[in-house]
Each structure stands twice: as structure tokens, then as C-alpha cells.
Amino acid sequence: MGWLLYILVFGVGLTVGYFLPFYRNSDNRVRELEDHLKSLQSKYEHYQETVTAHFSHSAQLVNNLTNSYREVHEHLQKGANELCADNKRHASSNPANAFLSLASPKDAYPQPVALADDKFLATIEPPRDYATKSPHDKGTLDEEYGFK
């Protein structure tokens, strides 16, 4: 009967030895996936920081360019006013009058377009419905099109 106990313990050990590597491999695989996920997350956060820094620097450069353009414009306008000092200075043919006014303050960037501005809205046209239809039919851009 003792030899049966030895065979039973040997069989249990053999079974545990067979299934133990599968359990450990899944544990290692989970650890590898967690490490990979952390790596991807750190790369994504670095990418976000890089994009934010890029657009912040781009905005700063565009603002500098706008201010430089404004300074050049004001310099040219001032020079035209000062250098065209003759009897035509106050007439409409004075070159200084060819410059557009830059009346907005320098520190007011960015300035959103007001939707109530008529000059802005005058250039916008609603979509048009050119589908052929009889006069009593509703077009595809009508709010009630297709509802019955």
C-alpha cells in the first residue's frame, strides 16, 4: 500500500509541475503588458507636452510677427506723412492716405470676429438647394424633408 502512496504523490507532483509554467507565463505576460502600457502612456504624455509647447511657441512667433508688421506699417505711415510735406499733403493724393488704419491696440490679440458684425455676415450665404423639384415639393435642405 505504501508504494501506491508514492505513485499518487508522484502523479500529483507531475501534474503540478506540468501546469505551473502555464500559470507563471500568464503572470509574466501580464507584467509585460503592464510595462508596455506604461511605456505607451509616457510616450503619449510626452507627445502631448511636445504639441502644447510647439503651439505655444508658434502662437508667440505669430504674435511677434503681427507686432513687427504693425510697427513696420506705423513706421511707413509716419514716414509718408512726414516725407510728403508739400502742398498735396492734405489732399487725397497724399501717399500717406493709402495706408489702412491700424486702430486696434497692440495687446488685444487674438481678437475674435463678432458674429453681429454686418461686414462679416455680408460675405456668408446660406446653402442653396438646386435639386429639381416641383414648386410644391420641399427641397432636401428643408427642415421637414423626409418626415411624414
Mean pLDDT by 10 residues, the chain (148 residues): 80 82 72 93 96 94 92 87 66 64 55 59 68 69 69
Q: How far is CA 34 from CA 1, 6, 26, 48, in A?
A: 50, 42, 12, 21
Note down the domain range covering 12. Answer: 1-82
Q: What is the pLDDT of residue 9?
A: 83
C-alpha span between 42 and 101 (Å, rounded): 49
Q: Does some domain include residue 2? A: yes
Q: What is the pLDDT of residue 108?
A: 47
Q: Does some domain include residue 8? A: yes
The count of domains in the chain is 1
Q: What is the pLDDT of residue 17?
A: 81
Q: What is the pLDDT of residue 104?
A: 52
Q: Does some domain include residue 129? A: no
Q: What is the pLDDT of residue 134?
A: 73
Q: Does some domain include residue 124? A: no
Q: Does some domain include residue 90? A: no
